Chains A and B, each alone.
Chain A
Amino acid sequence: MTDCSKVVVKHLPERVTLSQAREIFAELEPALENDRPCLVFDFSDVVQIDSAGIEMMLRCMEEAMKRNGDLKLAALSPQVAVILELTRVDRLFEIFATPSDAAESFHRFPVQALRQSTPPRNTGRFEAGLGEASS
């Protein structure tokens, strides 16, 4: 099991574009330099994300992976969900309905959270906002 005693939950601003993305990455750099960094991005307020924002997410993920950690996403709005799906980035992340579910998932596989939002027929997505009708 990954030892993630300290999960960092980053609440993202309404817009995650070029300038904000740089600030966010700079802010997270110290946390990413820890051993096994465990990060959660809380998207509950985000209404706009552009390619710079997505690149920042991927860089954070890459840095976390280098140190055997992970980055997970939570509370995606439908707008953000569409962008992530469009750019096919959604498949690279574990996505949860709430930041607490995401934080918990570093310690225990959240079967209950997955069950509540039953995975769809084929794609198997279980996040809020991207769910389709289950089979």
Chain B
Amino acid sequence: MRVSAVLVLNDRPLSAESIGKFASPKRDEFCRRSLSCVEILGQSLLDRTVARLRDAGVQAISVIGGTDLSSLPSYRGLEITIAHRPTDRWSAAQRTVISHRAKGYDIVLMVGLGAYMEMNVAEVVRFHRAHGKPLTQLEDNQGSLDFWVVDSTWFSTAANGCTLPFRYGEFPGLPVACRVSGYVNRLQEARDLRRLVLDAFLSRCEITPRGREVRPGIWIDDAARVHKSARLVAPLYLGYSTKIGPSAVITRFSNLERRCQVGAGTVVESATILPYTVLGSGLEVSGAVVDGNRFVDLERNIALQVEDPRLIRDATPSPWFIPARRGSESQPNRGSEGLDYGYSQYLSRAAGRLSEVLFKG
């Protein structure tokens, strides 16, 4: 029996117009890119899903998504299809399943990426085969998940031309529901992303931060630079080539992803800072998700776009300049986008007036 997988990026990037018009930041509203492609604790959900499928012995994996995929490295053995409009992705998935059938794959795992799911793939396939039906859908205690196990022969014949994703009632008695017991996070809101990070730090899911655990609970990835006067309080994660300025405080359940920069005296507490985000000096970032100049305050439950680049800004390089990823990224960033360390400004703002006590002598 040969098993393949088709992964469809089920989320869409944020439109700038939608910022600030809502009260409850959803997935599409706090992240500029497809969240599945954004590194969380050093590795994207797409990477983690591909690794899980490969570990389970899935032989061919196709990925269908938007332009975000074009900036990804050429995954070895992955077939990548770019579909600009989200609505086109499922029709591309349909063609891909049929092409997998032609290549001799009996079972196709069709996954709508958006939620993060930890399931035993071999067990799911066993369940599917044991029930003898052509279509199985995973579900957890909150309802059905965008994960189907499809018999490719049935799909190419009886289900040919059906609309994807599958809907209940389209085919009598299908799909068969398969309950998953593993960790699932639907990642629908910014709060869910924070929960994922907390769960990873607390070992409630299988995600482990990349990089080296330099002290218990403190993971630092390659080429990260931390000023000697900065304070790190576990648990936290600093991604590849992050820069932490003098007297900055990074504390408790915070994660700063690839190439983030934190200015002098800024406090980051229980916050998720997504890749290529620059935080200025003397800021207080607490209980938030920040992506470039998009800021989601989870306590106030609002999202906003900050226009002043001295506060927060996006440092994503131009597409032609995006370096190859970890494996081939031999040179640490020596660019001139250094932090504007305002030594005279941060002392009174860093961690309240007591930072003055701490650093005065």
- Report which A residues bind B (CB closer than 8 A): 1-2, 51, 54-55, 58-59, 61-62, 65, 70, 87-89, 91-94, 105-111, 114-115, 119, 121-126, 135
Query: Does B215 lie within 8 Å of A122, measured CB to CB?
Result: no
Chain A residues, CB < 8 A from B13: none
Chain A residues with Cβ below 8 Å from B242 are: none
Q: Within 8 Å CB of B198, what residues of A?
A: 119, 124
Q: B253-264 toward A: CB 8 Å interface, digit per residue (1/0)? A: 110000000000
Known A-B contacts A111-B202, A111-B203, A123-B269; the reply to A91 vs B213 at CB < 8 A is no
Chain B residues near A1 (CB-CB < 8 A): 213-216
The answer to whether B216 and A119 touch across the interface, beta carbons within 8 angstroms, is no
Q: Do the beta carbons of B351 and A89 come within 8 Å of each other?
A: yes
B286 touching A2, Cβ below 8 Å: no
Cβ contact within 8 Å between A92 and B233: yes
B1 contacts the other chain (CB 8 A): no
Q: Write out the residue numbers on chain B whose beta carbons fall within 8 Å of the beta carbon of A91.
A: 233, 249, 251-252, 267, 269, 351
Q: Are A92 and B269 in contact (CB under 8 A)?
A: no
Provide the bound-state CA to CA distance between A30 and B76, in Å. Answer: 56
Instruction: Point out the residues of chain A lying under 8 angstroms from B329, CB to CB.
Output: none
Report yes or no: B352 in contact with A88, Cβ–Cβ below 8 A: yes
Chain B interface mostly helix, strand, loop or mixed? mixed
* Residues of B contacting A70 in the complex (Cβ-Cβ under 8 angstroms): 215
B300 to chain A, nearest CB (A): 10
**A to B CB contacts below 8 Å, 18 in the list:** A1-B214, A1-B215, A55-B357, A58-B358, A65-B231, A88-B352, A89-B354, A91-B252, A92-B249, A105-B216, A105-B217, A109-B217, A110-B216, A121-B298, A122-B299, A123-B252, A124-B198, A124-B270
Query: Is B80 an interface position by the 8 A CB rule?
Result: no
Decide: B358 and A108 in contact? CB cutoff 8 A.
no
Chain B interface (Cβ < 8 Å from any Cβ of A): 191, 194-195, 198, 201-204, 213-217, 231, 233-235, 249, 251-254, 267, 269-270, 286-287, 298-299, 351-354, 357-358
Contact A109 B351 (CB under 8 A): no
Quick one: given A62-B358, A123-B286, are A114 and B216 in contact (CB under 8 Å)?
no
Residue pair A87, B233 in contact (C-beta under 8 Å): no
CB pair A93–B233 under 8 Å, yes or no, is: yes
Known: A122-B298, A124-B270, A126-B252. A109 touches B235 (CB 8 A): yes
Query: Chain A contacts of B215 at CB under 8 A?
Result: 1-2, 70
Give complex CA distance A89, B213 in Å.
25
Contacting pair A94 B234 (CB below 8 A) = yes
Query: From B353, which residue of chain A is reached at the shortest CB distance?
Result: A87
Pair B354/A87 contact, Cβ less than 8 Å:
yes
Contact B233 A135 (CB under 8 A): no
* Residues from chain A with Cβ under 8 Å of B233 in the complex: 91-94
**14 extra interchain contacts, Cβ-Cβ under 8 A, other than A1-B216, A88-B354, A123-B286?**
A1-B215, A55-B357, A65-B231, A87-B352, A87-B353, A92-B233, A92-B249, A92-B351, A114-B201, A122-B287, A123-B287, A124-B198, A124-B253, A124-B254
Identify which of B194, B217, B353 gathers the most chain A CB atoms within 10 Å of its CB: B217
Chain A contacts for B195, CB-based, 8 A: 135
Query: How many angstroms from the CA of A94 to the CA of B111 in the assembled complex?
Result: 40
Which residues does chain B contribute within 8 Å of A105, judged by CB atoms? 216-217, 234
- Give chain A nearest CB distance to B324 CB in angstroms: 31
Q: How far is the CB of A133 from chain B (nearest CB, A)?
A: 14
- Among residues of B, the one whose C-beta sits closest to the C-beta of A126 is B252
B352 surroundings in chain A (CB, below 8 A): 87-89
A115 — which chain B residues lie within 8 A by C-beta? Answer: 202-204
Establish whether residues B216 and A123, one from each chain, have CB atoms under 8 Å apart when the complex forms. Answer: no
Instruction: Enumerate chain A residues within 8 angstroms of B249, measured Cβ to Cβ.
Output: 91-92
For B213, the chain A residues whose CB sits under 8 A away are 1, 109
B351 to A124, Cβ gap below 8 A? no
**Minimum distance in angstroms from B218 CB to a CB of chain A:** 8
| Given A123-B286, A124-B270: A58 in contact with B252 (beta carbons within 8 A) | no
Q: Which of B213, B252, B358 has the most CB of A within 10 A?
A: B252
B17–chain A nearest beta-carbon distance, Å:
28
CB <8 Å contact, A125 and B252: yes
